[in-house]
Amino acid sequence: MSLPLAHTLVARTVEVPDVGDLLERLPTAGLGRALSWVRRGDGLIGLGELARFETSGESRFADADAAWSDMVAGAVVRDTVGLPGTGPVCFGSFAFSRRSRAGGVVVVPEIVIGRRNGVSWVTTMSTGALPPSGDAADLLPAVEPLRAPTRVRFSDGALAAADWQDSVREVIDVIRSGAVGKVVMARDVIADLDGEPDARRVLGWLAAEYQSCWTFAVDGMIGATPELLVRRERGLLSSRVLAGTIQRTGDDARDLARAGALARSSKDLEEHEFAVDSLTASLRPFVASTSAPETPSVLHLPNVMHLATDVTAVLDPAHAQMSSLAVAAALHPTAAVCGTPTLDAAEVIAEHERMDRGRYAAPVGWMGADGDGEWGIALRSAAVTGPTSLRLFAGCGIVAASDPAAELAESEAKLAPMRDALS
């Protein structure tokens, strides 16, 4: 049933001349209010806030999905572009654990600026009123000068480095007892700045340095994730699994040798196999087919290299209407960010990690009115905790052969993107 006109969503999408750097179009407001999903110059940013839906607990994904579905039901849409990301769009971010106070949120912006394959557009959204009928290009915000850089200092989060290594040793003992096969242990670091950072400077740096990653910002959760949990586009699902990591040295010849060592590492190959098997098992109940290469490739990032596997699948007819967020909820948490078996690993995390992850390592992304969208895993990320403070996160997959000191070094490498972006 359609909503009354006063509450009906009205959306208009029109093509505009090239918008340039999307992230430069963000307002000067701080990181906590930025909305973005950008990779290699393409993607979406959101301006303003038309509506938001906050959820919590076990049903945080389903409640958010239902709220968005209700909002777009009966929507009046004028879309002359017709690409993924046009028409009504929302952004979302969710807590890793059902027990977390961070819950989940869906934010519906007033304006979305997007670009894909050389086509730029602007979408305006409102309730109960027709969108502006003039030139949509007039709605594009001017590119304003960047704020001055801020200085930052870092301090221990929930656990000091030595204490975190002790927790990793405890988890290794649990794994060697046979209770679980793999556990992903995260740690946090606190960043305090001497002024409010410019969202465009931080996100722009991440996007420029980590072009193969998805640079995101939703409700104060920011970062550049290399891991795509799920993309749904016209019934086709895509996912990128990352597990198994080695640091880069900055020397091309040495890094090439290290990439070869990573591809042959029994410890890392075991960790990666756990993650791929976890994902495909989670997909199995609602897809007609899946496809994945037999061996992983090596993904090269500026700070680390990962074993990577791209998985594709096709929704079966009985689940053809399953939204991208519903698929993301079914896949979360994967072995890549939790462990194997997943439920048992989650209990080990709750006992030994000694912190609330909040929305770290959980789904973050966007979704359209038709349920298509992209959801990444909030990795290489930070949570904005105040105008001048953030929590940075990094996690490492622990297996029986893990070494606590090596895992600490890996976590430091994974913290580097956010440390550098803030510095």
Alpha-carbon distance of 330 to 209, in angstroms, equals 31
**Secondary structure of residue 366 in the 3-state scheme:** strand
d(CA 114, CA 122): 6
Q: What is the DSSP letter of 198?
A: P
Buried b (16+ CB within 10 A) or exposed e, 370-401: bbbbbbbbbbbbbbbeeebebbbbbbbbbbbe
Find the helix or strand (DSSP H, E) in which 289 lies. Answer: strand 287-291
Q: Which of 24, 227, 267, 374 is catalytic?
A: 227
DSSP per-residue letters across 241-283? EEEEEEE--S-HHHHHHHHHHHHH-HHHHHHHHHHHHHHHHHH
Tokens at residue 109, please? Answer: 């912006």
Chain-centre distance of CA 5, in angstroms? 34
Q: CA–CA separation, 102 vs 82, rounded Å?
A: 34
Q: Does the CA dihedral 194-213-333-373 come out positive or negative?
A: positive
Closest to 379 measured CA to CA, from 329, 332, 310 = 332
Name the catalytic one among 182, 271, 273, 353.
Answer: 182
- Most distant CA pair in the chain, distance: 67
Q: What is the end-to-end Cα distance of the chain in Å, rounded? A: 51
- Residue recorded with tokens 């040793």: 169
CB 54 within 8 A of CB 94: no
Judged by DSSP in three states, 58 sits in coil
- Length of the chain, in residues: 423
Residue 363 and residue 377 in contact, taking contact as beta carbons nearer than 8 Å: yes
What the block records as the tokens of 392 is 């940075």
Active site residue 227: yes
C-alpha span between 232 and 248 (Å, rounded):
32
Q: Which residues are tagged catalytic?
A: 182, 227
